[in-house]
Amino acid sequence: YNDRKRGIMSGFSKFETFPVWNLSLDHPVNVAYEAATADIGDCNVLDPFHKKAYGVEAVNYNRDVENFAVMKKIIERMVSDGDPMTDVRSPTDMGVNMVKEGIVDNGVVCEASKQEIVRRYFRYRREFVEGCTLHDTLDRMDKIMAKVGAKPEDRSVVLPARKAAEEAKRRQTEGKGYKGVFCGAAIEVFLDSGGTLIVTGKNSPLLHAESAALLNATKKVAGIADGVDVISPSVIRSLKELKRNMGLNSTSLDPKEILNALASSAVSEKNARRCLNALSKLRGCEMHTTHLMTEGNEKTVNQMGLILTTDAKLPFPDYHLI
């Protein structure tokens, strides 16, 4: 537009990252794009206009292809023959994309794409439980998962979180679980050795499952033994007393409260200080929970940089998501 105002006859193109036009239709990267837009029903298609114009197969998405004929007519009415705008012969021509040239390890990219698809699977299930998406979206995601041969359990933290919830139920006589609700959470942490380790947490009258997992994860990356208490008992007592005095139904500490307790204890406790300093190492780690978190608790986890998914069970006694 600005060029035309200055008398410069220029064409146009846009940065169009996904789908990647010169990767195959069923490449996991392109399938991951379908997963990212499953709620609006986007799907990848071969661009028939590009094939006709150049004899080359190119991947685009349905809305661009469906609307290209309209776009072409608009261009023809706007400009005269020979104008650079008339050089656009396909919807793929309207995009600039060099993603394929940047792939140096296709195996790593394919696995990362599958993991993103699984994360989207859990996101849509959660949105369905919250009433934010339709069952059609879940059906589309089931087909997308099948297309790349992915299962929910392919996400490394899913089964450990579920097993933690099951263990909480088995150990309810030992103080695990809370008011008939049994939750589990798992975090995959990166070790200094270069490996990874999955740490879990179970809910109890003292801690939410997510709080327990966060605390256990920070202890692990800080090199502190599981049996060592890092938060001052007096701090915990004060927090629980505060919640009782406020008339709250639960005195179990949520993620933000456990972080506040850790920060308070770090003033005088060396191990708490080590855990506090280790919190930044959780950024970018994968986390899964069995139950829905409150908006505030989820915000705390997201602010820490954890990549969160959930089974989206509701925190009611003996509740099972069907």
DSSP label of 40: T
CA distance 254 to 297: 7
Range of lowest pLDDT (28-42, 155-169, 210-224, 246-260):
246-260
Range of lowest pLDDT (10-19, 130-139, 166-175):
10-19
Can you tell me the mean pLDDT for 261-288? 96
pLDDT at res. 296: 92
pLDDT at res. 102: 96
The matching CATH number, chosen from 1.20.1570, 1.10.3470, 1.10.1220, 2.40.50, for 2-93 is 1.20.1570
Q: Which strand (E) or helix (H) includes residue 313?
A: strand 307-313
Question: Is the pLDDT at 322 greater than 60, yes or no?
Answer: no
Give phi and psi for 80, each to the nearest 5.
-95, 170
Per the prediction, the chain carries an average pLDDT of 94
pLDDT at res. 160: 99
pLDDT at res. 144: 98
Can you tell me the mean pLDDT for 1-16? 87
Confidence of residue 318 (pLDDT cuts 50, 70, 90): low
CA distance 87 to 53: 11
- Spell out the residues 6+ positions from residue 184 whose beta carbon is closer than 8 angstroms to its own: 160, 161, 162, 163, 164, 165, 166, 167, 168, 200, 201, 202, 203, 209, 289, 290
The CATH classification number of 156-313 equals 3.40.140.40
Can you tell me the mean pLDDT for 127-152? 97
CA distance 260 to 262: 5
Range of lowest pLDDT (71-80, 124-133, 274-283):
71-80
DSSP string, 105-161: -HHHHHHHHHHHHHHHHHHHHHHHHTTSS-HHHHHHHHHHHHHHT--GGGSTTHHHH
Question: Is the pLDDT at 218 greater than 90, yes or no?
Answer: yes
Residues in the chain: 322
Which position has the token pair 């939410």?
Answer: 208
Domain boundaries, the chain: 2-93, 110-148, 156-313
Confidence of residue 4 (pLDDT cuts 50, 70, 90): confident
Closest by alpha carbon to 24, among 115, 142, 106, 117? Answer: 106
